[in-house]
Chains A and B, each alone.
Chain A
Amino acid sequence: MTAFEPSDITMMVVDDEQSVRQSLEAWFQDDGYTVLTAENAAEALKRLQSAQIDIILLDIKMPGMDGLALQDRIREFNKDVIIIIITAFGTVDTAVRALKAGAFDYTTKPVDPDELSLIVRNAVDRIRLERENAALKESLDHLQYIDDIVGESVQMQKVFELVRTVAPTESNVLILGESGTGKELIARAIHMNSKRKYFPIIPVNCGAIPETLLESELFGHEKGAFTGAQYRRKGKLEMARGGTLFLDEIGTLGLKQQVDLLRVIEDREFHRVGGERSVKADFRLICATNTDLSKAVHEGGFREDLFYRINVFTITLPALRERKSDIPLLAEHFLRRHATAMNRKVEHFSSEAMELLQQYDWPGNVRELVNAVERAVVINATGTIGADDLPLQMIRAPRPVHSDSSLAEVERRHIQHMLESNGWNISRTAEKLSIDRATLYHKIEKYGLKRPE
């Protein structure tokens, strides 16, 4: 993202105290900036004549010409230079006058390191924007694959195509899919293939955080912002700076948080809870949900304006049962991974086990498959995963003899499944099916179902 090096930015620290000049010089040198110092107004003006200076940190109270007067003189030389005022505690009104006279921002001594770095980052951003006339667009002609996204099915190829299309853009993305389909992996794939890849992707599971805590979790808070806020805390929005914010289970967001989020998306800035200073929002937003958001919009549980903001580009992940052709590939992939991680020599699935994996409906999707394979690797003793190594509900799942899905066939399979899962107890099965025992006997006879020996 950075089109130039920090050393391309020259700062000047103007302060009459040597220890202040030295600490700030060292602090900014660690960040890689080029740093000059001046101990009074005359020296500062001399340096301005001989060097191209981008940012000036100016102590407002100095003997001789004070900071305010110096600021005016500097403006005569250089209209573009960014001036940040450093003021002693208690002279804030002077700082406000300096702001009115065109200072970029101000901070009070002793300076909070985080506040200082925030101000300087904002200043550097402004310089960057000014310098970046021609945006450097990184060409992304091939996708960086995330290891666990596996699939050769038509459905997954379509998903990859969408990821490839949207990743290099800055579009907000909404990922839809049942739980366990790998929505976070897709979000990571988009991030990894975007120009934000060197910055973090910050995932937040909105559904897992109590609504009362979510605000400070997202926006951060200042010390004393509310009872119990003894310490300042950085929010996820701020941590995602430069990178991607991934909001999972966006459908669970309360209406108040929806308003807050909408405002951030529109204003591109926000405040920490209890904070005065606005923080620039610099993240790409990816949201995910397993609920029907448009229905929620219709019913008033989700704001329509927010829905359109987050749903600029939609990627729908197929359920695993809709892409059963990928199951062998996925199963082998997770088998290799778990066998390596657990240092076990398990290399194959028996054909019977693989058949079971492909027949099962996987209500928990890929996550359930991962768990099943992991469990199988743990309990397997032979080196080849057999049917016995798989979870019981899969072994018991109805095994279609042929792929007939006529109503009669569906009924037959369902009754057989219910009988098996109730241990062929006729009364209990009849009750579960909401039919009487006589009808159940009749159906058993009709479909030729047999109790296993």
Chain B
Amino acid sequence: MHNIRLIPLGARPRDVSFDQLCRDIEMIIPVRITQQDLPSDIDFALDASRKQYHSTELLARLLMTNPEGVHKIVGITPYDLFVPVLTFVFGQAQLNNRAAVFSTFRLHNEFYGLPHSSEQLDSRCLKEALHEIGHTYGLRHCIERPCVMNSSTYVEDIDLKPADFCLTCRAHIQSLF
């Protein structure tokens, strides 16, 4: 069984249950998730003028941790992420490789001036995690049908897609196990 390590970056995102998230992921793909307790320091990736963290640098650092017996490393952070040319990213993953990272910053309803909803937050975290993990298993954005690999540039896009892979994407992932 593949092992995936979940690593909090900078701080543990508030209101997110890691145990719940791990269980939910394990329900959808046949992997075992382990957690790292202590958040890693990520100040090196901060762009002070943008007040955002450079997600590509976070991916590089995640790779350096190189935990033993772990197939994929997924970082989760409460801070906003960017890549140089874009205003923000929800997350970033190495296509068909080991590391992925996503941010809960724009997954909170409060960010959009709406009342807190732990149900929506949990479901968005799960979808983002599955989506980025999907990329590490070589999946690209899925455009044919409802699928967690549909691309999202809006939180509404995330809400619209299911927290599961379509048959085609699922078949691809399962062929790897």
Point out the residue from A2, A110, A114, A117 that lies within 8 Å of B144, measured CB to CB: A2
Asked if B151 contacts A117 (CB within 8 A), the reply is yes
Asked if B154 contacts A114 (CB within 8 A), the reply is yes
Q: In the bound complex, how far is the Cα of B85 from the Cα of A24, in angstroms?
A: 7
Range of interface residues on B (Cβ < 8 Å)? 20 to 34
Asked if B141 contacts A20 (CB within 8 A), the reply is no
Asked if A198 contacts B86 (CB within 8 A), the reply is no
Q: In the bound complex, how far is the Cα of B129 from the Cα of A173, in angstroms?
A: 39
Asked if A239 contacts B160 (CB within 8 A), the reply is yes
Q: In the bound complex, how far is the Cα of B172 from the Cα of A32, in angstroms?
A: 15
Nearest to A7 among chain B residues (CB) is: B140
Asked if B85 contacts A31 (CB within 8 A), the reply is no
Q: In the bound complex, how far is the Cα of B147 from the Cα of A200, in angstroms?
A: 11
| Residue interface bits A11-30, CB-to-B below 8 A is 1, else 0 | 00001010110111011011
Chain B contacts of A234 at CB under 8 A? 154, 156-157
Min C-beta distance of B88 to chain A, whole Å: 7
Asked if A31 contacts B151 (CB within 8 A), the reply is yes
- Contacts A23-B85, A31-B141 given: A239-B151 contact, CB under 8 Å? no
- Contacts A26-B95, A30-B95, A230-B113 given: A198-B85 contact, CB under 8 Å? no
Chain A CB within 10 Å — which of B82, B89, B141 has the most? B141
Asked if B140 contacts A31 (CB within 8 A), the reply is yes
Chain A contacts of B146 at CB under 8 A? 198, 200
Tell me, yes or no, whether A111 is within 8 Å of chain B by CB: yes
Point out the residue from B83, B89, B140, B157 that lies within 8 Å of A32, measured CB to CB: B140
Nearest to B166 among chain A residues (CB) is: A198
Asked if B95 contacts A23 (CB within 8 A), the reply is no
Tell me, yes or no, whether B103 is within 8 Å of chain A by CB: no
Point out the residue from A2, A110, A117, A233 that lies within 8 Å of B85, measured CB to CB: A110
Min C-beta distance of B141 to chain A, whole Å: 5
Chain B contacts of A30 at CB under 8 A? 95, 135, 140-141, 151
Point out the residue from A27, A86, A233 that lies within 8 Å of B83, measured CB to CB: A27
| Residue interface bits B64-100, CB-to-A below 8 A is 1, else 0 | 0000000000000000001111111100100100000
Tell me, yes or no, whether B153 is within 8 Å of chain A by CB: yes
Q: In the bound complex, how far is the Cα of B56 from the Cα of A179, in angstroms?
A: 53
Asked if B153 contacts A117 (CB within 8 A), the reply is yes
Asked if B141 contacts A23 (CB within 8 A), the reply is no
Tell me, yes or no, whether A113 is within 8 Å of chain B by CB: yes
Asked if A111 contacts B86 (CB within 8 A), the reply is yes
Chain A contacts of B27 at CB under 8 A? none
Min C-beta distance of B162 to chain A, whole Å: 11
Asked if B56 contacts A22 (CB within 8 A), the reply is yes
- Contacts A30-B151, A200-B146, A234-B154 given: A110-B86 contact, CB under 8 Å? yes
Top 8 A-B residue pairs of the complex, sorted by shortest distance between their CB atoms: A23-B83, A114-B153, A32-B140, A19-B84, A198-B145, A20-B85, A113-B153, A31-B141
Residues of B within 8 A of A (CB): 56, 82-89, 92, 95, 111-113, 135, 140-141, 143-146, 151, 153-154, 156-157, 160
Residues of A within 8 A of B (CB): 2, 6, 15, 17, 19-20, 22-24, 26-27, 29-32, 86, 109-114, 116-117, 198, 200, 230-231, 233-234, 239
What are 13 A-B residue pairs whose CB atoms fall within 8 Å in the complex? Answer: A17-B84, A20-B84, A20-B85, A23-B85, A26-B83, A30-B140, A31-B151, A32-B140, A32-B141, A86-B85, A200-B160, A233-B112, A239-B156
Please name 7 further chain A to chain B contacts, defined as beta carbons within 8 Å, in addition to the given A111-B87, A117-B153, sorted by A numbering: A6-B140, A6-B143, A24-B85, A30-B151, A31-B151, A110-B85, A113-B153
